[in-house]
Chain A
Amino acid sequence: MTVTQTTTKSDADAPAPVERDHLRRLLATGERPAAPSAFASARAFAWRSMLKIKHVPEQLFDILLFPIMMLLMFTYLFGGAIAGGTGDYLQFLLPGIMVMSIVMTTMYTGMSVNIDINKGVSDRFRTLPIWRAAPMVGYLLADVFRYAAAGAVMFGTGMVMGYRPEGGAAGVLLGVGLLLVFCFAFSWLWTWLGLITRSEKTVMSISMSIMFPLTFLSNIMVDPSTMPGWLQPVVKNTPISQLVDGVRGLFDGNVDSASVATTLIWSAGFIAVFGFLTIRAYNRK
């Protein structure tokens, strides 16, 4: 039996992890494929957000646990006081509290945008020849998925607690659909805020001071006709109250088409104004 001695010891010892010939070949074959469509690039960013959920699943807890807490707290703490019984109150509250907790979680989008923009990775995205809105739209698409998950969890919990929708499955699906459309549109306010503010903490405190009055000054917890006369027209006409009327109507099976239409108009307005401001801020960054 012969033993062939290899004499490449010194080469094997030398650290040469970068393979030059391989690299040369890759450089030679790195021709530019056709640029991705706007939708394909947004979808790639949505995939990125989904991967983040996979790697950092804790962020999903926030979004799923918070709504359940809200639902339990408001039903059992205030139900008796406000509606004289938790069962009736749940029928009234569920669509509203679903709107409240999901619309509130939209502000996380602003924080993620802000964290991203302060890191090197956004420099890379911004030097790519892609649709300028793609990173934001990607975020929002993945967020819509999270909101749908939160909506499903809340609805399931409500059913266990005794909630019964008069509008049936179709009404519930349309109601949740309307809520998701509004959230997608409303989030452009946060992407803009995320781009123009200095730190995620600032984003947080500004978002809070917008969200608290907007959600509490509404028809979510109580019927506005119990409020002082001067306050009623204000409360009844906020975009959140309109959305709640729309969703509640769909869930309850007596559709309030005026509120649905108003909500869609508000949504279009949010996209037009804050979508424009977001892209402008993104380009100027």
Chain B
Amino acid sequence: MSQRELAIRAEGLVKHFKDVKAVDGVDLEVPAGTVYGVLGPNGAGKTTTVRMLATLLRPDAGSATVFGRDLIADAASVRSQVSLTGQYASLDEDLTGIENLVLLSRLYGYGKPAARERAADLLEAFGLTAAAGKQVKAYSGGMRRRLDIAASIIVTPKLLFLDEPTTGLDPRSRNQVWDVVRTIVGEGTTVLLTTQYLEEADQLASRIAVIDTGRVIAEGTPGQLKSSVGAGSIRVRLHHADQRDHARQILVEALAGEVELDDDPVALTARLAPGQDTAVQGSHALGELARGGVLVDDFSLGQPSLDEVFLALTNKVDA
């Protein structure tokens, strides 16, 4: 990594809850001005890590700095640089959208007229003007997320934590959130984003740390991570179940790899070897199937799933 300014430097962060080691020695180096993805399954320690870095939890051991300020000794100064959008909307559900934003604007130090203006402006930018006077408990998941992110940029933070910003959202709302994240980072804010979805980290993050059972088990660019895990897969659904053995034969020859029969009697999955180009191999396989007279209903190329990333990475750790 080049000698760029670091937004976060964390060393050996540890947090235990009773007997559970939620975070068990996490090191992170987050370059300023980028989206950094923290990827991991539920219970991996993502949220606990974020809560420590946002000054909500005191680490049991380890140290961290946010833009050079010490997380523990200088917590107040860290707070003036960061914003947090938690996993569950950090809003007051009894209040309306505009009341939430006015309240927070006032807490950031805006005077009353300026707070109202800023709140109305943010609602408009996030397409929430029509819902401004509704209580937040009546908001949909996507609207809540947008309001939550709006609340996080009342004052443009140097570092924004987004804890699973798209979990539970429909695809359209998810795309909106991605759009917002790209715009925010485009204006110079560093974003630390936790997610369970490889695709999301892939879409947004320039570097990713994979966390499992409280430890970072891999770190790198999305490309590095994927190639370390292996290539993707090709999934085929046939028109006739009785052509499956024939199709399998063709795929084994075309791809020189493993081909599994799925539980679904018309489906089979071919795993590509590391280094193989998914698109090239895919079109080759499809051509061979057509030439062999196999009727294909559905044909899809897949990236390695998060499951596969984890299996591969955790096996490596155990070995």
Chain A contacts to B: CB under 8 angstroms: 15-20, 22-24, 26-28, 30-36, 40-41, 44, 47-48, 51-52, 55-56, 119-121, 123-130, 134, 284-285
What are the interface flags for B147-172 relative to A under an 8 Å C-beta threshold, 1 for contact and 0 otherwise? 00001011110000000000000001
Contact check: which of A32, A47, A48, A284 meets B58 at CB < 8 Å?
Answer: A284
B128 to chain A, nearest CB (A): 8
Chain A nearest CB, measured from B177 CB (Å): 9
B183 touching A23 by the CB < 8 A rule?
yes
| Contact among A15, A20, A55, A130 for B94, CB-based, below 8 A | A55
List the 10 closest A-B pairs by CB distance, nearest first.
A17-B127, A30-B156, A124-B90, A33-B109, A22-B125, A120-B90, A27-B187, A120-B88, A129-B80, A129-B79
Chain B residues, Cβ within 8 Å of A22: 121, 124-125
8 contacts between A and B (CB under 8 A): A16-B127, A19-B125, A19-B126, A19-B127, A23-B126, A121-B91, A123-B86, A128-B79
Say yes or no for B299: interface residue by CB 8 A criterion: no
- Chain A residues, CB < 8 A from B63: none
Cβ-neighbour of B125 out of A18, A32, A284 (below 8 A)? A18
B94 and A33 form a contact (CB under 8 A): no
How distant is B94 from chain A, measured CB to nearest CB, in Å? 5
Main secondary structure of the interface of A (DSSP, over half): helix
**A124 in contact with B86 (CB, 8 Å):** yes
Q: Is the CB of B106 within 8 A of A36?
A: yes
Contact indicator per residue, chain B 69-110, by CB within 8 Å of chain A (1) or not (0):
000000010011011101111111111000100011011111
Contact, CB under 8 Å: B108 / A32: yes
CB distance from B163 to the nearest CB of A (A): 9
Identify A124's interface contact among B55, B84, B176, CB under 8 A.
Answer: B84
Shortest beta-carbon distance from A150 to chain B in Å: 21
Give chain A nearest CB distance to B60 CB in angstroms.
12
Residues A26 and B153 in contact in the complex (CB < 8 Å), given A18-B176, A120-B88, A121-B91: yes
